[in-house]
Amino acid sequence: MLIEFVLNDEPTSVEVPAYKRLADVLREGFNLTGLRSACGKGYCGLCTVVLNEELVYSCMIPVFQIRGKSVQTIEGYAETEGFNDVFEGFKEAGVHLCDYCAPTRTLTTGILLDRYVRPDARQIEEILSSVKCNCTPYETLKKGILLTSQIRQKRLKS
């Protein structure tokens, strides 16, 4: 089946069986290896991508469902100012992520901070719980999110 969609702001298409998982298509067909295909059950969050501005587990999405939609991966997000905000906020807070969760943790933090400019405790918990990895202490991540929020607010005021 021919699937036409927008990938990281570029119109594209792929010829694959309709039942293939989006995670597999992105990794195998487009060599976008920032997302992981770990649990295959939508639990770990390591395969998270942005589908039409919503965070989704790409391991749970049959590729036919993206026809005509927009998909953003960490590779696309890395080209944005938001990525730089997260990078700086995490760096200042001393956040040291493992190679396995770093791409997804960065993407989810940035996208959710787009939604919650000044996150409260519940919203920070949503950001933190979206990826299941314990490589960095909760308080350090929380500090990184709050610093990223401040950096983003300053940038947006300029």
- 152 has a pLDDT exceeding 90: yes
Which domain does 89 fall in, by range?
81-157
* Domain total of the chain: 2
Asked whether residue 57 falls in the same domain as residue 95, the answer is no
CATH of the domain at 135: 1.10.150.120
Q: For position 39, what pLDDT does the model report?
A: 86
Whole-structure pTM value: 0.92
The per-residue b/e assignment along 11-35, b for 16 or more CB within 10 angstroms, e otherwise, is eeebebeeebbbbbbbbebeebebb
Q: Which residue has the tokens 């195998």?
A: 28
CA 127, CA 26: separation in Å to the nearest integer? 23
pLDDT of residue 27: 96
Mean pLDDT of the chain: 94
Query: 61 with 110, same domain?
Result: no
Measured between alpha carbons, how far is residue 19 from residues 33, 64, 66 in Å?
20, 7, 12
- Helix/strand/coil for 33: coil
Judge contact between 15 and 2, C-beta under 8 A: yes
pLDDT reported for residue 3: 97
Is residue 20 domain-shared with residue 67, that is, in the same domain? yes
pLDDT in tens, 59-95: 999 999 999 999 999 999 999 999 999 999 999 999 9
